[in-house]
Amino acid sequence: MTSILLTRVILLLFLSFFTHNAALAFNPVKPRFRDVTEAAGIEVRRLKKYGGPSVSDLDNDGYPDLLFCHHGGPHAAIYFNDRKGGFIKNSWSLWSDMHGIAVTPRTPKSLAKLISISSGGGKGLNPSAPQIFQVDSSTRNITEITSQMGIQAAKGRQRTAIYLNMKFNKNHKYPDVIFTNAQPKIHNRDWQYAFESDGKRYSRRNLKGYERNPNWYISATDLENDGTMEIIGYQDLSFFKLIGPFRFKEITADVLPPGTPTTGTVAVAEFDMDNDGDMDLYVARTKTGDLKWLNRSLPSFPDLLLENVNGKYVDVSKRAGVPTTSTSRGVSTADLNNDGYVDIVVPQYASSDIVLLNQGDGTFKKVFGLIRRPSNVRGDHVAAVDYDLDGRVDLVVSQGDQHDESKGGSYRILNNRLPPSGNRKWLSVRVGNAPDGSATALHALVQVMVGGMTMTRRVGSTGDAISRSFLETVHFGLGSRGKVDKVVVRWTSGFQVVKRRVPANTKLSVGSF
């Protein structure tokens, strides 16, 4: 009798778990996108692209704004969100041989955002320094402050920038910065530059362990969940751990499985694919060398999906169903159908862009045709962001060849028209500066506990190619759940805020604004 009762209890528990998670785990719904580019006020021009766009709330009104650049000109542009589903082009513009744009908060006592723009250096013949601009959140005025910030001496073949704390467990208030460059023609000096911020200006620091790294591009992740960001270098994928103030040690061989292909990496995205609290990594790969997309057949480099298991990566690409014959150019991640699992958007150079819908069991369903472009336009990069704050994540897509304007394109705004449903609830969490003034929102960790599941997002970018976004609002799909048990926001300084019993379909703000 006892064994029969025990069997029934186990069966009931299993059925309860299965029923509770079925809507989230086994039946991903296709999102629907409508191209609203021109209706949203975005100028359509056939131009060359290079790893954009960048998205951030520049004026601190809670709505994401857009930063667009083009390779080799014309002017960079900023579009402010009109809070009505569209954008207004700002009068500010800048002509340069644009490469990466990055955005960061300046200090935890300020609402100002800084924009860094990396320009080319004439293949080493005309080295240039990054340009820094500050956005006044109250007036939307944009002012160049390169000279007063103290970085005008950092000349090189500029590629991009990343902001993070490199003071090694000291003073998380002011984000520091690394400016990356292509190798100079003469290798007799360092070409990767680090600067320490005191909130007022930058001071040059020796970047030990990374100062002559050959990679052009850079991102960051927290492999060990210890609050200290590791840096990711790519074209040739590599990992570096902060071991002292502005001092790094390469750990690639320690964290990647033996034999993992690393060359040809063009974009990476940190995300928690399986809701286990560890940040995994999607690696988009296409071609080694200088990434010139010429009019010829391109070699295929299979993308990688790397699962974080106790601070080391396991290659789960094959089991997960990651594309193996793709020509990927970028990547961005978000829960596109609000089912509780993060999906992946992978723009392709020539073929149809790919959306990978998370099936909740460690596998992804490939979906084609959700993003459209003319056959004579090439794919570039994408940023997943809920720009109209309706609880459905939209896409800002960059289309165009890097060098060939005849295959150029424009930035496109794809509005998510996922039909409303009781099985597709959501929660957005806007993160401000730490209330105690100890840190900005950059790289803060947000965890949502609901129904025995923990979902994790990081404040920052949803995927990096060349440019980098700073998204202070993170999005969670909740499936059919009407309430969140707990929301935990932890800033890089360790300061933490907990909110309990938060209703679904809510825009929650945490921190100082």
pLDDT at 422: 87
CA–CA separation, 436 and 449 (whole Å)? 24
- Nearest CA-CA partner of 435 in 487, 508, 503, 493: 493
Residue given tokens 């730490």 in the structure block: 434
Average of pLDDT values for 104-109? 96
More confident residue, 120 or 209: 209
pLDDT at 298: 54
Average of pLDDT values for 47-73? 89
The answer to whether the 33-416 and 425-510 domains have the same CATH topology is: no
Average of pLDDT values for 246-267? 96
SS3 253: helix
For the domain spanning 33-416, the CATH number is 2.130.10.10
pLDDT at 296: 52
Query: How confident is the prediction for the chain on average, in pLDDT?
Result: 89
- Report which DSSP code applies to 471: B
Q: In what order do the strands lie in the sheet with 394-400?
A: 33-35, 408-416, 394-400, 379-385
CA–CA separation, 302 and 258 (whole Å)? 16
Q: Model confidence at 124, in pLDDT bands (50, 70, 90)?
A: low
pLDDT at 483: 96
Average of pLDDT values for 78-101? 90
Q: Model confidence at 74, in pLDDT bands (50, 70, 90)?
A: low
The model's pLDDT over 486-498, given as tens digits with 9 standing for 90+, comes to 999 999 999 999 9
pLDDT at 295: 46
Average of pLDDT values for 303-308? 98
Average of pLDDT values for 192-210? 94
Would you say 195 and 177 are in contact if contact means Cβ atoms under 8 Å apart?
yes
Check whether 72 has a pLDDT greater than 90.
no
pLDDT at 1: 45
Contacts with 464 (C-beta within 8 Å, 6 or more apart), sequence order: 217, 218, 219, 267, 268, 269
Amino acid at 381: H
CA–CA separation, 229 and 223 (whole Å)? 8
pLDDT at 47: 84
What is the Cα Rg of the chain in Å?
A: 22
SS3 5: helix
**CATH class label, 425-510:** mainly beta
Q: Give the rounded percent of residues in the chain with a pLDDT score beyond 70.
A: 90
Residue given tokens 């520091």 in the structure block: 176
Instruction: Enter the tokens of residue 335.
Output: 């829960």
| Spans of all domains in the chain | 33-416, 425-510
Contacts with 511 (C-beta within 8 Å, 6 or more apart), sequence order: 430, 431, 432, 433, 434, 435, 441, 444, 489, 491, 497
Check whether 354 has a pLDDT greater than 50.
yes
Residue given tokens 């009505």 in the structure block: 84
Phi then psi dihedrals of residue 259, to 5 deg? 85, 0
More confident residue, 77 or 388: 388
- Report which DSSP code applies to 229: P
- Report which DSSP code applies to 31: P
Q: Model confidence at 151, in pLDDT bands (50, 70, 90)?
A: confident
CA 174 to chain centre: 20
Q: Model confidence at 97, in pLDDT bands (50, 70, 90)?
A: confident
The model's pLDDT over 235-250, given as tens digits with 9 standing for 90+, comes to 999 999 999 999 999 9
